[in-house]
Amino acid sequence: MTATTAHLSRSETGPPGPDADVDAGKGAGTPTAAVPAGRAERERQERRAKLCPPMPGDRLVGWVAPVLIAVAAGILRFWRLTEPRGLYFDEVYYVKDAWGLMTAGYEINSKTCDGPAYVVHPPLGKWLMAASQWLFGYVDCAGTAHGSPELGWRFSSALAGTLAVLVLARAARRIFRSTLLGCFAGLLLALDGLEFVQSRIGILDIFLMTGIVIALACLVLDRDDGRRRMAARLDRMEPGAAGSADARFGPRLGPRPWRILMGVALGASMGVKWSALYTVVGFAALALAWDVGARRTAGAPSPFLGALRRDLPGWLVGFVALPVVTFLATWTGWFVTDGGWNRDAHGDGFVNAWRSWWDYQQQVLNFHEGLSDSHPFRSTPMSWLVLGRPIAYFYSSPAFGAEGCTAPGGCSREVIALGNPAIWWGGTAALVGSLVLWVRRRDWRAALVLVGFGSAFLPWLLLPGRTMFFFYALPSLPFLVLGLTAMAGLALGPREASDVRRLTGALAVGVYTVAVVLLFAYFYPILAAEVIPYSSWRMRMWFPGWI
């Protein structure tokens, strides 16, 4: 463990953090002609240090290490990706929808092989599956296989799950200013069973999570870029500008490209599943609070008004206009063809097409609000945090001598969407730690964990009668990982801590990491459809709710 990548320094986690309000207004604003040159320079440096804490200096390692973790995650996800053969669980819906998009531009009724299919999720995730089917293989509506069909409809999922590991590792490195902690976050995501299983099945949720992770990375990059621009513009302000609007509200920051990309990523996430809308709201609130905090740290006397006057137009573009435009763009196939569901409900013409589309969205909303059945693997949101009811996607019982079964008592073969207990149980505890960290220190990273998790998880609590499944919790997983990463940073301690303190923290984090690795290895056979003795399968069923 080196000094450059070991942990969070006190200036990055302890009071006050980079955004802390305690120093606001204490000479952090623009120096005037009456301020001595030495003091003005000192205040400028202090302001820049608060606005722009330095990144780790190991830029090469900061790329190579996360890439290696992502490569390892990719190997795990692509290895035996075509097993089990055939369609399983909700692949029976989304794979056929993707084939329809590939061949007609809209989802085709798979029973009649003609006419539109009524679907209840936006098309982007299915377009991504259609792209990989076009590359590697598919099964047509008549049941004829072309190429390698399982690879075709699962490749894009595996790629998305692998990409999420890399992006989260890089984002966590920036958030915590530590390459080690960035790699820690990437490793946790790579070794979570739910993320692993969702990366190896042709359904939509992995695309939703990956889109949110990309939006998260862009949000953090936008935060750093905006604060860097603010520091640079304050440095260039004339000493006599103390009474100007820039001095009162803070300077204009100009176009913010990362916010634009974030808006696109959020819109694309909504184009996979509507539930990403809650993340849009959560990220929008965070961005506005960070804009206010940056202007307060810069010494603006009216930081809230400054954020409204200077940042609101770009905020509206990033969190309203671009997500809406991107979401609508994902429906292009429905608009440019005539065969989609409800396409001509109101007749021909541009305006009627929009009326038909809006009517379709209302049908989808009514479906989701009324979804209720007695599925054996339905679960409640609070049970997700403790892995109360994981969902079995696939199960078979090979007899002795069949499918490689060598156990006289018979074997089991399963794909179960089960999170890594060390991550989900530890991550739930880390949420409590993040809440304490935010209350005591107003740490922006703790706010990111809480708001990100809350926007992905809490809305499900408002729908107690709706049928829900554990894999709905997947978009909240990256924020559990970030919460665990924050706790690991606190355990490792500041650089100025004693050797005993740092060694104790390193051992604790090391033991936890080993536990994550061992638990993933232990549950791997029932995550990847390996044939194992029934007794071995039964040993892994820790609780009745797992069967």
Averaged pLDDT, groups of 10, the chain, 547 residues long: 40 37 37 58 78 91 97 98 95 95 94 91 97 96 93 98 98 97 98 98 98 98 94 73 67 93 98 97 97 91 90 94 98 95 92 95 91 88 96 96 94 98 98 96 96 97 92 98 97 87 94 98 98 97 96
Report which of 237, 235, 254 is spatially closest to residue 245, judged by C-alpha positions. 237
Q: Which pTM value belongs to this model?
A: 0.92
539 contacts: CB under 8 Å, gap ≥ 6: none
Q: What is the pLDDT of residue 31?
A: 42
Q: What is the pLDDT of residue 21?
A: 37
Length, in residues, of the chain: 547
Q: What is the pLDDT of residue 3?
A: 39
Report which of 68, 57, 212, 80 is spatially closest to residue 154, judged by C-alpha positions. 80
Q: Which residues pair with 139 in a beta bridge?
A: 145
The Cβ-side half-sphere exposure at 15, using a 13 Å CA radius, reads 9
Residue 36, token pair as written in the block? 């001595």
Tokens 């952090």 belong to which residue?
28
Between CA 40 and CA 45 the distance in angstroms is: 9
Contact 105, 337 (CB under 8 A): yes
What are the residue ranges of helices labelled H in 339-380? 350-369
Contact 162, 41 (CB under 8 A): no
Angle between helical axes of 421-441 and 499-527 (0-180°, round to 10): 140
- Residue 277 host element (H or E): helix 276-297
Distances in Å between the alpha carbon of 74 and those of 78, 138, 157, 187, 189? 6, 22, 11, 12, 12
Q: What is the pLDDT of residue 5?
A: 39
Q: Which residues pair with 411 in a beta bridge?
A: 533
Q: What is the pLDDT of residue 244?
A: 63
Residue type for position 138: Y
Q: What is the pLDDT of residue 494?
A: 85
Q: What is the pLDDT of residue 22?
A: 32
- Residue 172 host element (H or E): helix 149-176
Q: What is the pLDDT of residue 427?
A: 97
